[in-house]
């Protein structure tokens, strides 16, 4: 890949002018929430076109895949997590693609890293130490992740403990009962309490789209989380039977767009769970580009919740060079 192509890679996706903007939130507007209605068939028709109307080939595909890597929350949230496993994950976050592949693509100088590393509370300190000397933030899941079925005061205490341990970002889960029973004030108050407990740590609100029954509920929960001060809204924990889909993601990014139009504040979006292939990653990047614009195509406003996705992207990058797909074990993530 020549220098001109490498230059093209560097300009894919404009960086935002302000990387530190937080969402201050707004008062709860119940009239706006109650007026929300989502046409499922229209959403599904639009979602079905993603990836079909635009073809990304050769250096442009490489550029977008590198962008996808830079927007990953490289994640391990398993019962068999160990300090060594987290350290290996952090090493992969520092160097997500083998250097010889980057050099052959002509982008070895870009120093590509993932957007963040996401772990349970017990491994915050391990991850912080393993990422020392980088700008890669550590995210911790909290508030009784993934189900959230613990008392409110314990959820707040979990957030405070993770912030004290050094977490840069907190992924919280909302109480699905409040959404399913239309207790919008309770949902707003809950998320606002979490936002206060996060302090300077950025907060991602997981609304668990697969457990909210309707796309209208997805839209309402998204708006309320942003009104309560969420810096990101996130589709799923990755533990539900149905996680991120293009349809529920479309509803959420349009909520993000509406909130920006109303307040001038840019809130981030994170799909998580079930996104495992390079082709799927490109579909979500196209969704963000078309619905929100290139200002959102960076780790400050867009993330993938990813564990196995990186393996397939690295294989695709190598295929771009060799014309052959390598075995998964040549690209381990941990």
In a domain, 22, yes or no: no
Residue 320 falls inside a structural domain: yes
Residue 311 in domain: yes
pTM: 0.92
Within a domain: 21 = no
Residue 278 neighbours by CB under 8 Å, 6+ apart: 65, 68, 309, 312, 313, 315, 316
Q: Please determine, for residue 285, whether its predicted confidence score (pLDDT) is greater than 50.
A: yes
Question: Which range marks the domain in which residue 44 is found?
Answer: 3-10+29-330
Tens of pLDDT, residues 205-245: 999 999 999 999 999 999 999 999 999 999 999 999 899 99
Whether 81 has a pLDDT exceeding 50, the answer reads yes
Q: Is residue 220 part of a domain?
A: yes
Looking at residues 263-291, what average pLDDT do you find? Answer: 95
Helical (H) or strand (E) element with 236: none
Kindly tell me if the per-residue pLDDT of 7 is higher than 50.
no
| d(C-alpha 124, C-alpha 307), whole Å | 17
In a domain, 253, yes or no: yes
**CATH code for the domain of 299:** 3.20.20.70
| Sequence-separated (6 or more) residues with CB below 8 Å from residue 164 | none
Active-site amino acid positions: 171, 234, 270
Most distant CA atoms of the chain, gap in Å: 57
DSSP 63-105: HHHHHHHHTEEEE---TT--HHHHHHHHHHHHS-S-HHHHHHH
147: which DSSP letter?
T
Strand partners, 302: 269
Number of independent structural domains in the chain = 1
């Amino acid at each position: 890949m020549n220098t001109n192509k490498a230059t093209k890679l560097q300009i894919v996706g404009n960086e935002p002018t302000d990387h530190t903007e937080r969402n201050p939130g707004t008062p709860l507007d119940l009239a706006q929430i109650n007026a929300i209605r989502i046409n499922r068939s229209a959403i599904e028709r639009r979602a079905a076109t993603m990836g079909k109307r635009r073809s990304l080939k050769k250096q442009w595909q490489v550029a977008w895949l590198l962008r996808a890597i830079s927007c990953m929350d490289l994640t391990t949230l398993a019962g068999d997590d160990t300090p060594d496993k987290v350290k290996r994950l952090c090493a992969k976050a520092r160097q997500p693609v083998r250097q010889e592949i980057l050099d052959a693509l002509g982008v070895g100088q870009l120093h590509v890293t993932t957007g963040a590393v996401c772990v349970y509370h017990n491994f915050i300190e391990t991850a912080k130490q393993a990422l020392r000397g980088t700008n890669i933030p550590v995210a911790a899941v909290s508030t009784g992740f993934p189900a959230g079925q613990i008392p409110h005061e314990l959820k707040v205490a979990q957030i405070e403990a993770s912030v004290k341990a050094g977490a840069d970002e907190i992924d919280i889960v909302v109480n699905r009962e409040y959404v399913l029973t239309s207790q919008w004030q309770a949902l707003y108050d809950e998320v606002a309490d979490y936002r206060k407990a996060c302090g300077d740590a950025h907060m991602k609100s997981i609304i668990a789209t697969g457990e909210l029954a309707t796309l209208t509920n997805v839209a309402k929960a998204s708006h309320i989380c942003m009104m309560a001060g969420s810096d990101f809204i996130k589709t799923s924990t990755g533990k539900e039977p149905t996680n991120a889909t293009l349809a529920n993601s479309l509803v959420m990014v349009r909520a993000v767009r509406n909130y920006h139009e109303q307040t001038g504040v840019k809130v981030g979006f994170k799909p998580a769970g079930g996104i495992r292939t390079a082709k799927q990653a490109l579909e979500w990047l196209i969704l963000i580009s078309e619905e929100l614009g290139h200002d959102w195509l960076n780790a400050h406003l867009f993330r993938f919740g990813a564990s196995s996705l990186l393996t397939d992207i690295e294989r695709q990058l190598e295929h771009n060079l060799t014309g052959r797909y390598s075995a998964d074990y040549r690209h381990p993530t941990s």
